[in-house]
Structure formats: structure tokens, C-alpha cells
Amino acid sequence: MTYITQRFLKPLDAAKFCALSVSTLAKRRLKGLPPEYRKVGRAVLYDIADLERFLEEHRCRSTSEAVQP
């Protein structure tokens, strides 16, 4: 496994990592919402650090907490 494949994930793997659908990630990209991504040629890549930060920002302690989009 090379460095690029260890640090960056394609949308399918990023979606699995975040427990989201590929479609949800695509809609978030379209709206300019996190998580951030990179566009290299035609490839869309997500940095694992950005995905971890995105998940941390959506951390909740109870079901009554509001989740920001």
C-alpha cells in the first residue's frame, strides 16, 4: 500500500469510514459542506484527517443535542 492510498480515500471508502452513503457525500460536496475533499484530475479524494475531524465535529452526548449539517 502506498502513502497516497493510506492517507486518502475514494468516495466509496470515505462513505464507509463515516457511515454515510456515497450520495450523501456527493450532495455535501455540491453544497460546499464538510468534509473537505481534494479533486485530482477526475478523482475525488478525502484525507482521513479531514474525515476524522468531520466526525469529531458531529459528536453528540445525547439524542436531544442539535446536529449541525
Number of Cβ within a 10 Å radius of residue 60: 9
> pLDDT tens digits, residue range 12-41?
999 999 999 999 999 999 999 999 999 999
Number of Cβ within a 10 Å radius of residue 55: 14
For the chain, the C-alpha Rg in angstroms (whole number) is 13
- Give φ, ψ of 34 to 5 degrees: -65, 160
* pLDDT band per the 50, 70, 90 thresholds, residue 5: low
DSSP 62: S
Q: What 3-state class would DSSP assign to 34?
A: coil
Q: What 3-state class would DSSP assign to 9?
A: strand
Q: What is the mean pLDDT of residues 39-49?
A: 96
pTM of the model: 0.82
Domains and CATH numbers, the chain: 3-57 (1.10.10)
Higher local confidence (pLDDT), 50 or 68:
50
Give pLDDT, residue 1. 44
